[in-house]
């Protein structure tokens, strides 16, 4: 197979990018002239009529560059082998265009997608992961149709689907460019992905927030089908997959490259099922929508999902650069972070219906499932089991520079002892009696004590049984440090997200707390945790000059009473909460008088702590 220098691919990319830049505004004019526009709906995110023909620009720019380049470089080598992909992707584009025009039923679209994916696989394109050809056929069908629909569902906010598709294309290109012998079709995939990326980026210039044009189903189905099909075409054949470790690496790479659309589709599907909503029904319940609900701007939500996609792509590249053990640890830690973040997003209320979990067991759900989802104790034990294993294995990798070698037997021998001692220590020290949302410094000290005892106890047992022969003391020191970090971060996860994300872009009445003492800090905590108040804290007001211009609980002490007018006008303050325990009523009247003199309308409240 012939491969080209990187500047050749950069040239193909640049041509597709330039053509897409030209075609997208033309498609926008055609869309408005023909009435192909997205009409705002209550279940949709956009608020104005927007052209829908952006997908045509991506489609035309991709093939307009790829076809002549393939003919020029050798049609028999670069064009003919992927002709089935071209024809089926064109069919998918036509299907999406028909849906944009006629609003087809979901079952009809799905049937057509299955037919086109089947035609593509008739020509021998399929994932060759398993010895069973039937299993490979089944997995390939699910993969292509699933990725196609995942990008269609991901197209729910300006620039999201196109941007993630571009990032996926970049990492697919890099995977094959850095491993040119990965697949018999690596050369063809490189050429096609270069044109594909350029066409998408040219469209993304107009589609990023605030979008002036959408890709429509014609575009989202096309870019999804293309990525799904190119990953199938670029998959290594069974002959090059030896051990189960190699198989896991082969499977992990495409999943990580397309992780965000897969994750968002799975997340939305599960949440809609829990709330008895059809999966095919549109709604503002995707990951991006939930990020906006907790305080992100639309642009920031999209950029955060871009970042998740980039990190997953970098991990995918690592599978061909690092040892499997190192990659496994990284993937597990990454997945744990994903679980915590998306669990936090799952707490956002976006449905009016009650969850199946709130029906008191009237359905097939068992008490065990309710225990897992509500009390989380079983989940905590399982999580700690995983964290202990990861920390202990990572300690061996760090101690022996990524290759435990013969010492791996010592790891396997001592791991059960480590898990048993550590879990027992957690139980004795009361780690499982805590509540994650209120984790504080005292809890962290408890974790340190429990981990210390849980580390020393296995060392004593190993000393008694094996005289500590062939065991490295440094491993246990590294393990202790890693587990302290992992357990602390996992327990603090919801609180860190609450105080970091929720605070950053909180919507509500701009509020000032007068008094930065204990009472004021209690008021801050209530404002942060009680969204029903509808308040967004701007900062503190305090007459003590020693703490002015400093930060307390992450919020600035903006000044004293003499700075009140400047602060109100600068931050648009609409509410002031007086937190004084003594002479609070007097201070409240004083502030009301000052606001009246200024001619500003500010609601002044006094905080009171009542124990009845």
Sequential DSSP letters for 548-577: TTSEETTEEB---GGGHHHHHHHHT--EEE
Residue 308, domain member (yes or no): no
Cα dist. 339→336, 357, 488 in Å?
Answer: 5, 19, 16
Residue 531, domain member (yes or no): yes
Nearest to 172 by CA among 191, 193, 152, 150: 193
Residue 358, domain member (yes or no): no
| CA dihedral of 302, 223, 142, 285, whole degrees rounded to 10 | 30
Count CB neighbours of 364 within 10 A.
7
Beta-sheet pairing, 50-51 with 37-38: antiparallel
Number of domains the chain is built from = 3
Q: How far apart are the first and last CA of the chain?
A: 81
Residue 291, domain member (yes or no): no
∠ at Cα 88 (214, 175), nearest 5°?
80
Q: Are residues 391 and 488 in the same domain?
A: yes
Q: Are residues 25 and 167 in the same domain?
A: yes
Alpha-carbon span 160 to 460, nearest angstrom? 54
Q: Are residues 35 and 99 in the same domain?
A: yes
Q: At what angle do helices 160-178 and 186-207 cross, to 10 degrees?
A: 150
For residue 373, what pLDDT is reported?
43
Residue 357, domain member (yes or no): no
Residues 391-426 pLDDT 10s: 999 999 999 888 887 778 888 989 999 999 999 999
Alpha-carbon span 526 to 312, nearest angstrom? 36
Q: Are residues 434 and 372 in the same domain?
A: yes
Residue 332, domain member (yes or no): no
Cα dist. 48→44, 198, 210, 461, 554 in Å?
Answer: 11, 28, 11, 69, 38
∠ at Cα 403 (400, 405), nearest 5°?
95
| Domain end call among 443, 476, 502 | 502
Contacts of residue 2, Cβ cutoff 8 Å, sequence gap at least 6: 73, 74, 77, 187
CB 480 within 8 A of CB 418: no
CA 293 to chain centre: 15
Q: Are residues 568 and 594 in the same domain?
A: yes
Q: What is the DSSP string of 441-483?
A: HHHHHHHHHHHHHHHHHHHHHHHHHHTTTT--HHHHHHHHHHH
∠ at Cα 191 (187, 196), nearest 5°?
140
DSSP type of residue 237? P
∠ at Cα 599 (593, 602), nearest 5°?
70
Q: Are residues 65 and 93 in the same domain?
A: yes
Q: Are residues 164 and 61 in the same domain?
A: yes
For residue 364, what pLDDT is reported?
45
Q: Are residues 460 and 554 in the same domain?
A: no
For residue 355, what pLDDT is reported?
58
| Domain end call among 193, 228, 252 | 252
| CA dihedral of 534, 538, 543, 544, whole degrees rounded to 10 | 120
Count CB neighbours of 490 within 10 A.
21
Alpha-carbon span 323 to 326, nearest angstrom? 5
For residue 341, what pLDDT is reported?
92
Alpha-carbon span 170 to 582, nearest angstrom? 62
Residue 359, domain member (yes or no): no
CB 154 within 8 A of CB 262: no
The ranges of the chain with pLDDT < 50 are: 359-374
Residues 79-92 pLDDT 10s: 999 999 999 999 99
CB 514 within 8 A of CB 541: yes
| Domain end call among 502, 523, 551 | 502
Q: Is the peptide bond before 210 cis (omega within 30 degrees of 0)?
A: yes
DSSP type of residue 358? G
Question: Domain range holding 413?
Answer: 364-502
Strands, DSSP E only, in 60-179? none
Q: Are residues 527 and 457 in the same domain?
A: no
Q: Are residues 393 and 514 in the same domain?
A: no
Alpha-carbon span 230 to 571, nearest angstrom? 51
What is the Cα gyration radius of the chain? 29
| CATH, residue 567 | 3.40.50.720
Which string of b and e fits 526-565 if b means at least 16 CB within 10 Å? ebbeebeeebbbbbbbbeeeeebeeebeebebbbbeeebe
∠ at Cα 250 (114, 177), nearest 5°?
95
For residue 354, what pLDDT is reported?
64
Q: Are residues 181 and 114 in the same domain?
A: yes
Q: At what angle do helices 216-233 and 106-122 cross, to 10 degrees?
A: 30
Residue 223, domain member (yes or no): yes
Q: Are residues 387 and 415 in the same domain?
A: yes
């Amino acid at each position: 197979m012939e491969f080209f220098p990187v500047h050749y691919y950069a040239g193909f990319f640049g041509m597709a990018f330039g053509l897409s830049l030209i075609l997208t505004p033309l498609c926008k004019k055609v869309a408005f002239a023909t009435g192909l526009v997205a009409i705002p709906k209550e279940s949709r995110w956009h608020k104005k009529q927007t052209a829908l023909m952006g997908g045509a620009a991506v489609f035309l720019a991709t093939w307009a560059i790829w076809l002549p380049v393939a003919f020029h470089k050798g049609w028999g080598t670069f064009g003919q082998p992927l002709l089935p992909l071209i024809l089926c992707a064109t069919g998918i584009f036509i299907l999406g265009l028909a849906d944009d025009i006629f609003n087809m039923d979901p079952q009809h679209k799905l049937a057509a997608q299955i037919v086109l994916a089947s035609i593509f696989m008739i020509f021998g394109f399929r994932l060759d992961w398993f010895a069973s050809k039937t299993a490979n056929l089944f997995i390939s069908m699910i993969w292509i149709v699933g990725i196609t629909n995942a990008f269609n569902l991901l197209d729910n906010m300006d620039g999201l689907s196109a941007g993630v598709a571009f990032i996926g294309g970049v990492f697919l290109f890099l995977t094959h460019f850095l491993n040119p012998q990965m697949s018999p079709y690596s050369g063809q995939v490189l050429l096609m992905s270069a044109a594909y990326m350029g066409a998408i980026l040219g469209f993304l210039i107009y589609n990023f927030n605030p979008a002036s044009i959408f890709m429509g189903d014609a575009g989202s189905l096309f870019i999804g089908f293309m990525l799904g099909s190119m990953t199938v075409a670029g998959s290594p054949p069974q002959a090059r997959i030896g051990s189960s470790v190699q198989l896991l690496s082969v499977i992990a790479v495409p999943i990580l490259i397309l992780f965000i659309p897969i994750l968002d589709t799975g997340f939305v599907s599960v949440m809609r099922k829990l709330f008895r909503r059809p999966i095919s029904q549109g709604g503002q319940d995707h990951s991006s929508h939930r990020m906006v609900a907790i305080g992100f701007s639309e642009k920031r939500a999209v950029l955060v999902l871009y970042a998740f996609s980039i990190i997953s792509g970098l991990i995918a590249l690592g599978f061909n650069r690092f040892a499997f053990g190192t990659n496994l640890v990284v993937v597990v830690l990454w997945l744990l972070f994903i679980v915590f973040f998306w669990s936090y997003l799952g707490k956002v209320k976006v449905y009016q219906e009650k969850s199946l979990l709130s029906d008191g067991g009237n359905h097939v759900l068992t008490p065990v499932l309710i225990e897992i989802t509500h009390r989380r104790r079983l989940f905590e034990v399982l999580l700690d089991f995983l964290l202990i294993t990861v920390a202990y294995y990572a300690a061996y990798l760090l101690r022996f520079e990524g290759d435990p070698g013969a010492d791996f037997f010592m790891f396997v021998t001592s791991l059960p002892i480590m898990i048993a001692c550590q879990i027992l220590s957690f139980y004795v020290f009361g780690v499982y009696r805590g509540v994650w949302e209120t984790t504080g410094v005292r809890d962290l000290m408890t974790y340190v004590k429990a981990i210390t005892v849980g580390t020393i106890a296995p060392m004593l047992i190993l000393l008694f049984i094996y005289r500590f022969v062939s065991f490295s003391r440094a491993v246990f020191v590294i393990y202790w440090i890693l587990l302290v970090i992992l357990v602390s971060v996992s327990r603090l996860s919801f609180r860190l997200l609450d105080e970091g994300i929720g605070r950053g872009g909180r919507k509500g009445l701009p509020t000032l707390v007068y008094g930065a003492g204990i009472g004021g800090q209690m008021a801050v905590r209530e404002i942060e945790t009680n969204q029903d108040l509808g308040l967004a804290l701007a900062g503190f007001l305090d007459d003590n000059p020693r703490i002015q211009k400093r930060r307390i609980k992450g919020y600035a002490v903006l000044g004293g009473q003499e700075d009140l007018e400047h602060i109100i006008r600068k931050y648009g303050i609409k509410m002031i909460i007086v937190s004084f325990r003594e002479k609070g009523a007097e201070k409240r009247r004083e502030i009301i008088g000052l606001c009246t003199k200024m001619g500003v309308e500010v609601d002044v409240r006094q905080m009171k702590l009542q124990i009845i």
